[in-house]
Amino acid sequence: MTTAGNFRSTVARAACDVSVAGVPWPAYKVIALIVGIAAFVVVGALTLSAAPAVLSAAGAATVSWLGFSVFCSSRR
């Protein structure tokens, strides 16, 4: 039997999950990967150098990962 608390928890978890190849991933991980790739491409195109592109992509992905993980965990 499902209680209201379990239902709310399940809905919040489903809202923060994305199916990648049939495997549920937390949405914040997918968003962080996309942000990191976008930062890598933009900074790489602007600087034409790998070092700033990799460092900025890692920083952008880390900040977005931490920020969105707090948002998704607070919804559970």
pLDDT reported for residue 75: 62
**Residue 8 pLDDT > 70, yes or no?**
no
Which of these ranges, 11-15, 49-53, 66-70, has the smallest mean pLDDT? 11-15
Please report, in angstroms and rounded to a whole number, the separation of the first and last CA atoms in the chain: 20
Q: Is the dihedral of CA 72, 73, 74, 76 positive or negative?
A: positive
Higher pLDDT, 20 or 15: 20
Mean pLDDT of the 32-36 span: 97
pLDDT reported for residue 3: 57
Find residue 25's DSSP bridge partners: 18
